[in-house]
Structures are given as structure tokens and as C-alpha cells.
Structure 1
Amino acid sequence: MAVTIKDIAEKAQVSLATVSRVLNNSGFVKEEKRELVLKTIKELNYVPNSVARSLSTSQSNTIGVVIPDVNNPFFGEVIKGIATVADEEDFNIILCDTDENIDKEFKALEMLKKQRVRGIIITPTSDKNEFNSEYLEALESLGIPIVLIDRDVKYSNFDGVFLDSLNGAFEATDALIKEGHKKIAIIAGPQTSKPGRDRLRGYRKAMIMNKLDIDEKYIFYGDFKLESGYKITKEILKMEDRPTAIFVCNNMMNLGCIKALFEQNINIPGDIALIGFDEIEMLNVLNFKISVVSRPTTEMGRVAMNMLIDRLKDEESTHTKRITLSPKLTLKGSEKLLD
């Protein structure tokens, strides 16, 4: 396996930023640390490649924000939180939408590198990045602070702001069970993302703890987008042994689910109960009461931006900051089991 700058940083016990400065002969590095890094590079026979070239030393007051779906209101609220702190601290933002596409994400990172951004806040795509060493090395080799938001990257040491998705899904499923539902379908997210896996785990945990059998025919897999929620719900409605409740694992799939239910004149909760993950403001405006697991979305953005600023002030720190926020289950009546 090729040696990465992370290997160098770990062996020399310095930050990735320090290794990047030494490799690019840029920025201030104490002489003893510079010599240590150069010695480690020689010992490990490190050969830099085109991906591993760091950003230019020219600094700006610009940060990059990389999200997977600009149409998702969740990310709009996150960006609002980021922008609030960025404005207060006189930072500009370059926003990139990857559309859950790994190739677009690589292009976005390359563009941000050329723009010499100071740091990046990113929600990685759900395209097996957690298991992709090339992807991890590409992020690390940028040589600038990176803060993850909502989704993790396995084996990384990046700062991050996350949500306790497992417990949120557990509470939602448990609430349906407490209402008397036994046949509960779940429209899960992609299992290549941690939130997708954790929400399915929360569902399974609630079923097991309530001593209910988990019927795999009620487990469906979407992609966190509206169309998948729509198509899956139409499949659910065709089932002979139809579930009495559906738990949908994000807001966009929930919108698709509600669209399908409306088209079939299915009453919520009269014909089928429903709980979604993430608030949908449009439904609140229309006074359409859907029970939901809500996240402190704007707060997540604020925390991520403050975390990035702290890292910019102390890039030499090897301490990784990771914060997990708690969701809130709000029951509005759509979870009911009606005769």
C-alpha cells in the first residue's frame, strides 16, 4: 500500500497541515519539526503524487462547503447555520453540490483546492467513500482543515458534527410500537452512509427490544431522494399483507412517500400511520401534521463552522473534535393506530 501523508503525520506525530507545509515548502514550520518530517519522509520512502499536492500558501477568507443534495431543505438549514457564523467572522463561502456523485465530489474538491480555500466543511457522498482509501487520501492530501457534517468517513481523524441517528430511529419505531403497530415498514437510506445504516439499526433495535419479529419484507432501501420514497411507497401499497405504519428515514423520501399516499387517496393515519425523519417546513405551513424526528439543523451548521474556525486558529493540534447532537421526536398524530 502506498505511503500517504497521514502515515507521515502519524509517525512523526505532527499534524497533516505541518506535513503539507513541509512538502510544499510553504508556511511556517519550526525547524526541528521540519527536519523530523523530512526524516520521516525519507524513512517511509514517500513519493508524492498529483493528488497529494497541497493548496497554495496564498490564504483567503474563503471556505468550501460541499453537500450532496442542494434541493434537500435539511442542507439549506445547515448552510444557514454555517453562513451565520461565517458572516460574523468575515469568511466567504463557495458552495458545491455533488448530487450524491463521487466523481462530482472529486471535481468539487479539486476546484476548491485551486480556489485556495482555507478549509472545507463537507457531507461526503453515499458512494462507499467510507471504505475508499483513495478518497480518504484525497481529502487528507488537501493539507487544509476539514470538518465533516452529518456523515462520517471511516478511519479518518477529521473533526465532525453528527447526529445520534440510531437513537432517533429507535424512538420513532418505538413510538409506533407503543401505539399498537406490529407490521411496520421502513424506507431506509443507503447503507453506504452511516446515517442510513444507523437509522436501520435503530429500527431493528426497537423491534427486538419490544420482542417483535423483524420481517425483512417490510424493509426497503431508498437513496435519500424523493423519487425513491415515492416508488417504494407504491410498492408497499401493493403488498397483500400491507403494513399498518411506515417509518421513512429522511425528509425527501418522506415527501415522496406522502405524494404516493395522496395519489392513492390513502388517509394518514386512518389507513396507514407515518413517521418521518427530518422536519418538512412546507408541511408545517400547510398545517399538515406528520410526526417527525427533527434535527437541530441550523445548530449543526453553526457548530461545524465554529469547529473549522477553531481548527484554523490551531492547525498544529492533533486533538480531533467530534460532537454528536441529539434528535427530537415530535408526535403530531400521524403515528396513531386507528380502527
Structure 2
Amino acid sequence: MRKKTTIYDIAKELNITASTVSRALNDNPKIRKATRELVQRTALEMNYEQNKVALALKSGKSNNVGVIVPRIDNNFFSSVIRGIEEELYPKGYHVIICQTHDLDDLEVNNIHSLLNVQVDGILMSISNAELEKNESFNKLIKNKKTPLIFFDRKIDIDGISSVTIDDFKAGYDTTQHLINQGCKRIAHLSNNRLFEIYKNRYLGYKQALIDNGLNFDEDLVIETESKVIEGRKSTSLLLDLEIPPDAIFSSSDFVALGAFQEIKSRGLKIPEDICIAGFSNEPFTRFMEFTTITTINQFPIEMGRIAAQVFLEEVNITNVKNKKNKNVVLTPELIIRKSSSKPFIPIKS
């Protein structure tokens, strides 16, 4: 195995002290420019690699940032990560990505792992709606040395910043659109409403019905996982009701796709018989062969960039007592497509 080059090897090669080599490699202005350039050139020729862990211990900064997401195999989270990277890479940071797969224990383990490698901050979308009850997580919060920023899925904790969209408005606007299309019996396929984002989408849906004088029927609300197969199962239950819905608003595009498949399998027409609206603007929603799907744009790249900007602001605060949490709320965009655009039928005179 090839021996790693050390600063002592470079010092011996140049006949200078190891301390001079160390300072030159770190661009110390006390070392003459010519000496710094010579040392750095020699280090490159000798394939010297600095010990980043040692540098982190010495400087208190690793230039690594941890990002924790439930999964990266959907467009939303991968786009948020892209936004984070685009903002942090030019600033000299490296991004370490962790997935939780919606497992509580793995989420806590990821946090511990990132802290053990001394990341300068953690940006995360939570998988456990009751994470604040976890003892290990609370130790992280009390520490306050490592900035923590929530995005999308968050918990309201004093001193912790977040970047989200206005989920209530998204739910309200989508439901209002369906009502404007003449729909009167609108179902909602939700997710776990212990999560604030799903709760707010549900509340926006409910408020739109109330404001328009429509009956709110709890039988038309089903909590389901964000999977295509679960969308089919839930839609099957809705279509088997004595009076089935004439529209479905889903908190997930994947669930909306399952609803789409189930409705089509029963020979019903979209949107003539039943309208569909999803959430998150996954790529497939605009590339459906016959009927594109109405959805909500959450601006994930922008969300990632802003979350990274909030981190950069916090990491530069020297006195943690002066730190104030920053809650950024983005405005969602309703993208209306064929799945909820009923054809105009003129009234015969």
C-alpha cells in the first residue's frame, strides 16, 4: 500500500520546517507568497492530501452540510437537493445526502451520523411527525451549535428556521378551482395529518367547501400513503359509495395517478365524469398521454436555495443568543390541466 505524503515529507523535500509547510498550505499571509506557491506546487506534485477531519477539528468548520430527506426517488426532494447544492457549492460547501425512508429510527441515526462527521449544519424534511418527543433529537436542539433548518415537512420549534409553502392556500385554491368547474361532491385523499403540511392542505380543502356553501362529508376524506397503489385502493372505496364523488383532490401526485388509473379502469371519463387534482407537479403529471393532471407547483428548487441561504445566514452568527428563527413561506401555484378542465357546454336556448 502506497504511503501517504505528509507535511514532514514536503518539509524534508524543500528543507524547511513542517510548521512553515502547514501555514503555507493554509495560505497564511505571514508566509511569503513565493514560499506559499512553492509549497503548494510541491504538495500537488507529491500527491499530498490534507486531512479534512483534522482541519475541521482545528478550525471548527468542516465545510460539509447534511441534508436529510424521506427519499430521493421523487422529483420534489431531488429538486430541493439540487437547489441546496446550487446555492452551497459556489460557497465552498459539500452536501452529504441522507435518506430516512420514512423510518423514525433511521432519521435519528442520520442526525447522529452527520453530527459525528462534524457537519456545519443540517437541512431536513422530517419523517416523524412527533420527532420533538425524541430524546436524542431534543439533545440536538438544546445544543444549538449546529444550525438546523426544516424544509417542506417541519415542526414548529422555537429557534428553528423553516422554508415551506402555504399549504392551506394550496388546498383552498385547488378545491375552489374544482368547485368553479361545477363539482359539488369533492373527495380528498390526504396523508398523515399529524404532519403540518397535510393537515393544512386538508383544512384549506375543508374551508373552501364551507365558504362555497357545500356540505363537508368526512366519508369523502381518506388518509393514505403517497403510493400509486394506495391511490387506486382509496379511489375504489370512493367510487363504491352510494353517491360517489365528482372530483378528487389528492395531497400527492402519486396518489392522484392511482386515482386516475382506477377511474379509467371502470370506464369513467376524466374530467367529464370525475375531475382529478394532485399535488407537487411531478414530471409525469404533464406528460400523460391523453389527460395531463392538474397539480400544485411547490417550487422545490427555490425552496432548496432559500433553505441554503437561511443556513448561510445562521452559520455566520457568532453569538447563538442573538439567533432568531426565520420562517419563510412560499406562495404555491395551481397548474390547471386537462384532468380538471371540464369542456364548456353551451346552454341551449
TM-score over 0.5 for the pair: yes
Question: CA contact under 8 A between 1:126 and 1:192: conserved in structure 2?
Answer: no
CA distance in 2, matches of 1:138, 1:163: 28
SS in 2 for 1:334: helix
Q: Which one of 155, 163, 169 corresponds to residue 161 of structure 1?
A: 163
The amino acid of 2:83's aligned partner reads: G
201-210 or 277-286: bigger deviation: 277-286
Tell me the equivalent position of 2:100.
98
Normalising by structure 1, what TM-score? 0.78
Tell me the equivalent position of 1:296.
299
Tell me the equivalent position of 1:107.
109
Question: CA contact under 8 A between 2:122 and 2:147: conserved in structure 1?
Answer: yes
Q: How does 1:79-90 map to 2 (within 5 A)?
A: 79-90=81-92
Note the alpha carbon deviations across 1:33-80, whole angstroms, 9 max, x for none: xxxxxxxxxxxxxxxxxxxxxx96742111100011222211111111
Matched, 1:175 2:180: no
Q: How does 1:72-221 map to 2 (within 5 A)?
A: 72-129=74-131, 132=133, 134=135, 136-141=137-142, 143-221=145-223
Tell me the equivalent position of 2:62.
60
Q: Which one of 298, 308, 312 corresponds to residue 309 of structure 1?
A: 312
C-alpha RMSD over aligned residues: 2.1
Q: Could you tell me which runs of 5 or more consecutive residues in structure 1 were left unpaired when the two chains were aligned.
A: 1-54
CA distance in 2, matches of 1:237, 1:137: 45
SS in 2 for 1:100: coil
Tell me the equivalent position of 2:233.
231
CA distance in 1, matches of 2:129, 2:169: 24
Instruction: Mark the CA change 1:294 to 1:333 in structure 2 (over 3 Å): closer, same or farther.
Output: same
Matched, 1:321 2:322: no
266-275 or 294-303: bigger deviation: 266-275
Instruction: Mark the CA change 1:262 to 1:111 in structure 2 (over 3 Å): closer, same or farther.
Output: farther
SS in 2 for 1:277: coil
SS in 2 for 1:66: strand
Normalising by structure 2, what TM-score? 0.76
Q: How does 1:11-90 map to 2 (within 5 A)?
A: 58-90=60-92
Instruction: Mark the CA change 1:202 to 1:100 in structure 2 (over 3 Å): closer, same or farther.
Output: same
Tell me the equivalent position of 2:6.
none
Question: CA contact under 8 A between 1:250 and 1:276: conserved in structure 2?
Answer: yes
Note the alpha carbon deviations across 1:86-121, whole angstroms, 9 max, x for none: 221121111111111111101111111111111000
The alpha carbon displacement at 1:280 in A equals 1.9
Question: CA contact under 8 A between 2:159 and 2:323: conserved in structure 1?
Answer: no
Instruction: Mark the CA change 1:170 to 1:304 in structure 2 (over 3 Å): closer, same or farther.
Output: same
The alpha carbon displacement at 1:274 in A equals 0.5
Tell me the equivalent position of 1:274.
276
SS in 2 for 1:243: coil
CA distance in 1, matches of 2:202, 2:136: 25
Q: May I ask how many residue pairs the two structures share in their alignment?
A: 284
Matched, 1:243 2:245: yes
Tell me the equivalent position of 1:22.
none
The alpha carbon displacement at 1:265 in A equals 4.2
187-196 or 287-296: bigger deviation: 287-296
Identity of aligned residues (%): 26
Question: CA contact under 8 A between 2:253 and 2:285: conserved in structure 1?
Answer: no
CA distance in 2, matches of 1:297, 1:69: 14
